[in-house]
Structure 1
Amino acid sequence: MKKVVAIGGGEISRFETLKIDEEIVKLTGKANPKALFIPTASGEPEGYCETFDLVYGKTLGCKTDVLFLIKDNLDSSQIEDKILWADLIYVGGGNTKMMMEIWRSKGVDKMLVDAYQRGTVLSGLSAGAICWFKYGFSDSLRFQSEETWNYIKVEGLGLFNAILCPHLDEENRREYFEKFMINFDGIGIGLENGCAIEIIDDTFRIIKSFENAHAYVFKRGRDKLFVEEIKNDDYLPFSLLS
């Protein structure tokens, strides 16, 4: 079975996504699965790695490891060994554009697609949610200039034919995403903080760590944008979103 959990946002360090994290671990079918953290998008800060070990290691009982693609000069076989080792992979948040560029330069993109085909549980938050989709609605340019930046469309791994917008309830992100979707020929999925979409093979459901968190699907009509809340917590065909 192919398994992906994409989280819209929330502070893992404050256990805000713990209910979702528990589901990610459960999907491995193992009591003490091997969990690999990929913190490329944030620049691999030590504190983020320690937080991942606190939540997935000490709290949820996983054996944890980190794939450093910036700090460590790993060759292709060393990278692949780490990815093959993992029962679940969790990609952290940050600069999606930078992360995808690094992944492609090292062949990590293809290795993660192979992991998906093998049934490794793939997951992540924000940039780590965007990456599994064809495109993401990203604030990557903010990391270059806090004052003058715009949201951009970033190309992901393309496991699912949609554009994902995380943090839908933050700042003016929904407003900008709706403006973008008016001219986008495809479906958009928006996830608020504390909300995730779980995709198993060709089915999906919404899971939440915040009771009041929401997920939406956005589709361009002939002369207007259609927006519908996605409420199902039971599995439905992913094709229903298109």
Structure 2
Amino acid sequence: MKGTMVALGGGGFSMSEDGASALDDYILAMTKRPRPRICFIPTASGDADTYSERFEAAFRDRADTSVLSLFCHEPWGYSDPAMLLEQDVIYVGGGSTANLLAIWRLHGLPEMLEKALDSGTVLAGISAGMNCWFESSSTDSYGPLAPLDDGLGLIPGSACPHYLSEPRRRESYQHWVATGALADGFAVDDYAAVVWRDGAFVEAVAEQRDRPVFWVERTADGVVEREIPVRLLGQ
């Protein structure tokens, strides 16, 4: 798989009081364009209007913004998903991973996203927008935390966002990996992200100090959690 993907465990504009984010700056810089085209996909939140408004407020001064609303919310209305092929960055918001995947498949987004990735568009996302790229993930789409084995599989293995920031994320994810309910995978704390390029893991980055990233792996004795070096952005 060609292309660049950034999976945020948390952080970015949606977790910033003023919309400023070193992770978002890092994503935009990947395009090497003075004013990149960036499209926000808020499907996981049911296209929450305030979420899309926060996105536009955070990016409008430095990028050409658009929103792909599959729920036909005004003022964006419904757009042909083929618009994704015209973007430099596609940024997926948080919410329900299960609902996102179901709705995307109805509208043909998985195939469109693969084409965009192959053509050089950076794919990024937070929380559910992190989970969707992997084969499987830890999700609260059904209320209590549960394993979800239904991702797009653009990144191999499983994912767990908000790893240290939300109650029971760490405990439950390690249990599912240990029992085989989820494959080995990346556990990413808030304000941190993992980066993949051309099918290979490149690095872990963070916009705050002490925001770790782990590789969680099943072993004969249960599960092993290996901390991955994280580069602090701006240093």
Q: Partner residue of 2:148?
A: 153
Paired residue type of 2:48: P
The Cα shift of 1:232 comes to 4.8
Q: Distance in 2 between matches of 1:16 and 1:190?
A: 24
Q: Is the 8 A contact 2:136 2:159 kept in 1?
A: yes
1:37-59 CA distances to partner (integer Å, 9 max, x unpaired)?
Answer: 0000001111111111121223x
Q: Is the 8 A contact 1:168 1:192 kept in 2?
A: yes
Match of 2:179 among 169, 183, 187: 183
Q: Partner residue of 1:239?
A: none
Q: Partner residue of 2:15?
A: 12
Q: Partner residue of 2:196?
A: 199
The range that moved more, 208-217 or 181-190, is: 181-190
Give the share of equivalent positions with the same residue, in percent. 32
Q: Partner residue of 2:66?
A: 65
Q: Is the 8 A contact 2:72 2:78 kept in 1?
A: no
Q: Partner residue of 2:207?
A: 209
Q: Distance in 2 between matches of 1:98 and 1:197?
A: 23
Distance 1:17 1:220, change over 3 A: farther
Paired residue type of 2:177: M
The Cα shift of 1:224 comes to 2.1
Distance 1:199 1:92, change over 3 A: same
Q: Partner residue of 1:146?
A: none
The Cα shift of 1:203 comes to 3.8
Q: Distance in 2 between matches of 1:204 and 1:183?
A: 28
- TM-score of the superposed pair, with normalisation by structure 2: 0.89
Which structure 2 residue ranges, 5 or more long, are not aligned? Answer: none
Q: Distance in 2 between matches of 1:29 and 1:203?
A: 20
The Cα shift of 1:157 comes to 1.2
The range that moved more, 98-107 or 223-232, is: 223-232
Higher percent of residues as helix? 1
Which structure 1 residue ranges, 5 or more long, are not aligned? Answer: 143-148, 235-242
Q: Distance in 2 between matches of 1:87 and 1:8?
A: 22
The Cα shift of 1:119 comes to 1.4
Q: Is the 8 A contact 1:138 1:154 kept in 2?
A: no
Q: Partner residue of 1:49?
A: 52
Paired residue type of 1:222: A
Q: Partner residue of 1:2?
A: 3
The range that moved more, 83-92 or 17-26, is: 17-26
Q: Is the 8 A contact 2:131 2:160 kept in 1?
A: yes
1:36-85 CA distances to partner (integer Å, 9 max, x unpaired)?
Answer: 00000001111111111121223xx010000001126747xx221x1012
Distance 1:36 1:8, change over 3 A: same
Q: Is the 8 A contact 1:7 1:196 kept in 2?
A: yes
1:87-126 CA distances to partner (integer Å, 9 max, x unpaired)?
Answer: 1000000001001000011111111111111110000100
SS in 2 for 1:90: strand
SS in 1 for 2:110: helix
Instruction: Note the aligned Cα RMSD (angstroms).
Output: 1.9
Q: Distance in 1 between matches of 2:222 and 2:81?
A: 46
Q: Is the 8 A contact 1:16 1:209 kept in 2?
A: no
Q: Distance in 1 between matches of 2:146 and 2:201?
A: 29
1:170-224 CA distances to partner (integer Å, 9 max, x unpaired)?
Answer: 1111011111110127321100001100112224101101111000001111122
Q: Partner residue of 1:36?
A: 39
SS in 1 for 2:179: coil
- TM-score of the superposed pair, with normalisation by structure 1: 0.86
Q: Partner residue of 2:99?
A: 98
Paired residue type of 1:216: F
Q: Distance in 1 between matches of 2:185 and 2:18?
A: 27
